[in-house]
Every structure is written in C-alpha cells, then in structure tokens.
C-alpha cells in the first residue's frame, strides 16, 4: 500500500499504519477516544483490527458505547475491542509463577513463595505486568488473527514501563532457566543409574524456554512493528509533558508516529495562550509530524461520532 497524498501535499500517517500502534499521553487528553477512532478508520479501510485497553480503569467500552470484556467483541465490520480483566490476569500469572516455583524449588520453601506471591499479587506492579503479559498474547496474534492492534494506553509513565517490560522480564526468566539447568545437571550427576533426564524431558525447562522466546519475540516486535502516537492538548503544561515523553520513548528506541494535538477549540476561542501553545507544539514536534483534531460539540462516543474524527487523523504535513 502506498501512502496517499492529497493535492496540498499532506500524507496520511495511519494508512498504511504500523501493525501495532500505542496511543499514549497525559491523563484525559483523548487517548481512548482517538485509539477507538483510529481503529475504526483502519477497519473501515478493510483491515482486521483489534483495539485493546491496557489502562486498568477502562473506558474503551464507553468510547465505543459497547460493553466489553476480556474476549474480543465485534464492534463494526473488521473491528473488535477488548478490555482485559487485570484481576483475572494477576490470578493467572500467580498460578503460573507458583507452578514454576513448585517444580524449581525445594518443597519446604513453598510456603514462603506463596506468602511472597500473595503480597506481590496485591501490588500495582503485578497488575501492570500481568496486563503486559496479555498484551504480548495479543501481539502474537498480529499478522494472523489481526492486521492491526491498536492499544489504548494508560498515561505515559505506565506506557513506558509497559513497553520496557518484555526486556525487563527476559533476564528474570533467563535467570530462572539457568537455575533450573544447574539443578538438572546436579540431579543427573546424582542419578547413578542415569535414568536419562535431558532437557527435552523437563517440562519446566521447556516452559521457561518458551516463555523466554515469547518475551524476546515481543521485545523485538515492539521495536520493529510498533509505533507510539502521543496525544496532547494545545496547552503549555501538556506540551512540556509530551516533550518529555517523546524524549524518553525515543531514547528507549521506540518509533514515534505523528503527535496528535486534540481538542483544538474553534479559531480564536483558545485566546493568545492557546494559539501560542499550538504554535509551540507544532514547532516542537515538526520532526514527527503533527495531526490536529478539533474540539467537537459534545463527547465523541459511539462509532458514528468517532468517525467524524477520522478525516482529521488522516491529515499530517508531509515529511
């Protein structure tokens, strides 16, 4: 697919869109709304799209005006949406870790492992990493079940942690694998009859290897197939935070799509401060491209009203 160009030389940044798009930005800027609108635009262009929310405080269902759940729900032709259940994800993850530990550590250590997991299960970090795990599952489906995955992300700090997670988790899984391999070697040495016991018969090692490969694939995919598009507002403070997020994300090696300035009031209504902030925003992010979305009358919820935002998402100055 070639990038369409309009007569006045603007290109459409989201068509062809990246296989995976994270929509990020400060709280309340319009991430959920624009993730839903972008997903709808791709589906209307004939692609199979899944839009998911990774914010434990879901509002994607409100934006689409449909109740959503863990399982992708059909919304419009070509469009599915899901709101992962963080609590269920935490429970699944704890069960997995407990199962790995049960096979890897001596039985007398298990009560301590359970106590630790109970505490960890209540921490916000666990919910975040369990959601990241779910996201990795969804990412694995891209190219097969979906042409595009659009991720409505929680505010920037969370997005950064989420994007780093596969890389952070990989050493942990690697460490556990090494420990298990050592234990296996010790078992083999102790095993005088030599009843075998190579790696292929060790379900835990197989699981750990599979998990490590899955995380490595996800980390590579995030760098190769994913872009982050940041949503901002024509306000100086929001601009400052968006600038920091752009710097952090690029330093972390992520590709950035054009920045979307959302909720731009009709001409003049924003006053000199708003106009100045808009100019500064355009200058600051000129290297990425800037998309401008006007403030709508009322909340743009439901497919029909969300579609009104699509023409704005498509227009960005050519780079």
Ligand X SMILES: Nc1ncnc2c1ncn2[C@@H]1O[C@H](COP(=O)(O)OP(=O)(O)OP(=O)(O)O)[C@@H](O)[C@H]1O
List residues binding ligand X (CB under 6 A): 25, 27-33, 55, 59, 63, 155, 262-263, 293, 295-296, 299-301
φ, ψ for residue 13, nearest 5 deg: -70, -30
Nearer residue to Mg ion within complex by CB, 31 or 180:
31
- In the structure encoding, which two tokens stand for residue 205, read together? 């090692």
In the complex, least distance from residue 82 CB atom to ligand X, rounded to whole angstroms = 16
Residue 172: DSSP 8-state: H
d(CA 190, CA 289): 64
Q: For the beta carbon of residue 28, count every other beta carbon within 10 angstroms.
A: 12
Contact 256, 229 (CB under 8 A): yes
- Nearest Cα residue to 152 out of 317, 3, 29: 29
Q: If contact means CB under 5 to 8 A according to the sort of partner, which of ligand X, Mg ion, none does residue 258 touch?
A: none
Q: Which of 21, 32, 156, 232 binds Mg ion (CB under 5 A)?
A: 32
φ, ψ for residue 77, nearest 5 deg: -55, 125
Q: If contact means CB under 5 to 8 A according to the sort of partner, which of Mg ion, ligand X, none does residue 234 touch?
A: none
How many helices (H) and strands (E) are present in the chain, helices listed first?
A: 11, 11
φ, ψ for residue 289, nearest 5 deg: 95, 145
Reduced to 3 states (helix: H, G, I; strand: E, B; else coil), residue 173 is helix
Count the site residues for Mg ion by CB under 5 A. 3
In the complex, least distance from residue 245 CB atom to ligand X, rounded to whole angstroms = 13
Q: Does 170 bind Mg ion (CB under 5 A)?
A: no
**Measured CA distances, 96 to 19, 89, 107 (Å):** 29, 11, 17
Nearer residue to Mg ion within complex by CB, 54 or 177:
54
In the complex, least distance from residue 264 CB atom to ligand X, rounded to whole angstroms = 8
Stretch of 38-46, 54-62, 104-112, 287-295 contacting Mg ion, by CB under 5 A: 54-62
Q: For the beta carbon of residue 94, count every other beta carbon within 10 angstroms.
A: 17
Stretch of 26-34, 96-104, 159-167, 272-280 contacting Mg ion, by CB under 5 A: 26-34
In the complex, least distance from residue 151 CB atom to ligand X, rounded to whole angstroms = 12
In the complex, least distance from residue 282 CB atom to ligand X, rounded to whole angstroms = 17
Nearer residue to ligand X within complex by CB, 87 or 299:
299
Nearer residue to Mg ion within complex by CB, 59 or 248:
59
Nearer residue to ligand X within complex by CB, 208 or 293:
293
Q: Which residues here bind Mg ion, judged by CB under 5 A?
A: 31-32, 59
């Amino acid at each position: 697919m070639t990038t369409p160009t309009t007569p006045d030389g603007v290109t459409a940044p989201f068509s062809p869109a990246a296989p995976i798009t994270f929509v990020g930005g400060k709280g309340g800027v319009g991430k959920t709304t624009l993730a839903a609108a972008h997903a709808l635009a791709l589906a209307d262009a004939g692609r199979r799209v899944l839009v998911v929310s990774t914010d434990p405080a879901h509002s994607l269902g409100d934006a689409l005006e449909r109740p959503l759940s863990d399982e992708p729900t059909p919304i419009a032709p070509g469009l599915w949406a899901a709101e992962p259940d963080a609590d269920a994800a935490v429970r699944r993850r704890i069960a997995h870790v407990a199962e790995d530990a049960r096979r890897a550590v001596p039985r007398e250590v298990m009560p301590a492992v359970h106590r630790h997991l109970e505490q960890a299960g209540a921490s916000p970090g666990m919910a975040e990493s369990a959601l990241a795990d779910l996201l990795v599952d969804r990412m694995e489906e891209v190219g097969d079940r979906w042409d595009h995955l659009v991720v409505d992300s929680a505010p920037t700090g969370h997005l950064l942690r989420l994007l780093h997670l596969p890389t952070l988790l990989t050493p942990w899984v690697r460490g556990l694998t090494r420990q298990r391999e050592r234990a296996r070697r010790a078992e083999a040495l102790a095993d005088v009859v030599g009843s075998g016991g190579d790696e292929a018969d060790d379900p835990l090692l197989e699981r750990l290897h599979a998990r490590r490969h899955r995380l490595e694939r996800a980390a590579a995919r995030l760098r190769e197939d994913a872009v982050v598009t940041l949503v901002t507002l024509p306000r100086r403070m929001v601009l400052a935070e968006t600038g920091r997020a752009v710097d952090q994300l690029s330093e972390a090696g992520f590709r950035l799509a054009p920045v979307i300035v959302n909720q731009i009031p009709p001409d003049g209504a924003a006053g000199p401060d708003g106009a100045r902030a808009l100019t500064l925003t355009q200058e600051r992010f000129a290297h990425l491209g800037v998309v401008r979305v006007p403030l709508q009358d009322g909340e743009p919820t439901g497919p029909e009203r969300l579609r009104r935002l699509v023409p704005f998402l498509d227009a960005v100055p050519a780079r």
